[in-house]
């Protein structure tokens, strides 16, 4: 019986998905848990190396170290030791395949598409190989979990909060600055009056010129010839 349904590798600093397993599950409940996993991936830098969030049917586990984290959606019956053993094995395989420079320079989701098939094979191995064949590895992880238990997250920690989707954190709202107009100085008033007077004189001159041109059209054309 499948216990690990979905797994992915993400970059810790911004939650960018680097590679993921093939998705064969399309129920509404499972898609909701995938959204929770994506939201949690954006916040991995806030949490220690291992963590879990459980629900009625599914649980999310993550294991991170340095620039890379591995995450999985598992059945709620999946033992924590098995989930973290899978994630640790996946982490070692990915970091052995790609150096930190390649990981840091990745600019688009699922840039390491060729690693998807490796995740798929590893997921199949952990789902269908008997636990007795992985006994030593499971015991090692089990002891580590007893000494340093993973952080337990609530479902609220994986919910999509306002402004968190797509990596955007809400900015605190601040009141708009209150600007006051400075009083007009005497020099400013004088400048305004002079500008109004100049505009009025120009208007009067224009009116007189128009009247003169209507009374003596010849002089108007002579004036135009003189000025051109």
Per DSSP, 176 falls in state P
pLDDT of residue 191: 72
Per DSSP, 57 falls in state S
pLDDT in tens, 2-20: 799 999 999 999 999 999 9
pLDDT of residue 147: 92
pLDDT in tens, 153-193: 987 777 754 444 444 444 433 444 444 455 556 666 777 77
Number of Cβ within a 10 Å radius of residue 20: 22
8 Å CB contact between 72 and 30: no
Residues with Cβ within 8 Å of 98's Cβ and at least 6 positions away in sequence, in order, are 112, 115
pTM of the model: 0.68
pLDDT in tens, 122-161: 999 999 987 777 888 899 999 999 999 999 998 777 775 4
pLDDT of residue 208: 65
Transcribe 31-46 into DSSP letters. HHHHHHHHHHHTTGGG
Using pLDDT thresholds of 50, 70 and 90, give the confidence band for residue 61. Answer: very high
pLDDT in tens, 16-42: 999 999 877 788 999 999 999 999 999
The arithmetic mean of pLDDT across residues 93-97, rounded, is 96
pLDDT of residue 114: 96
The arithmetic mean of pLDDT across residues 93-114, rounded, is 96
User: Would the pLDDT of 64 be above 60?
Assistant: yes
User: Would the pLDDT of 216 be above 70?
Assistant: no
Q: Is CATH 3.30.450.50 the classification given to domain 4-152? A: yes
The arithmetic mean of pLDDT across residues 216-220, rounded, is 54
Alpha-carbon distance 76 to 199, whole Å?
84
pLDDT of residue 156: 79
Which residue has 């052995």 as its token pair?
A: 96
């Amino acid at each position: 019986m499948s216990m690990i349904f979905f797994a992915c590798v993400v970059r810790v600093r911004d939650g960018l998905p680097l590679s993921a397993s093939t998705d064969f599950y399309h129920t509404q409940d499972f898609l909701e848990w995938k959204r929770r996993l994506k939201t949690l991936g954006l916040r991995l830098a806030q949490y220690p190396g291992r963590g879990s969030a459980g629900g009625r049917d599914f649980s999310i586990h993550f294991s991170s170290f340095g620039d890379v984290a591995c995450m999985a959606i598992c059945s709620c019956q999946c033992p924590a030791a098995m989930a973290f053993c899978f994630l640790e094995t996946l982490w070692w395989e990915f970091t052995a395949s790609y150096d930190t420079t390649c990981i840091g320079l990745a600019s688009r989701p699922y840039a390491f598409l060729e690693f998807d098939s490796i995740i798929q094979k590893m997921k199949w191995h952990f789902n269908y190989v008997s636990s007795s064949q992985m006994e030593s590895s499971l015991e090692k992880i089990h002891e580590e979990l007893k000494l340093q238990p993973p952080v337990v997250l609530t479902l609220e920690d994986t919910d999509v909060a306002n402004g968190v989707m797509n990596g955007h954190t809400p900015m605190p709202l601040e009141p708009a600055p209150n600007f006051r107009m400075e009083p007009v100085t005497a020099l400013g008033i004088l400048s305004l009056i002079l500008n109004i007077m100049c505009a009025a004189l120009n208007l009067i001159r224009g009116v007189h010129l128009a009247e003169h041109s209507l009374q003596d059209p010849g002089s108007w054309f002579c004036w135009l010839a003189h000025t051109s």
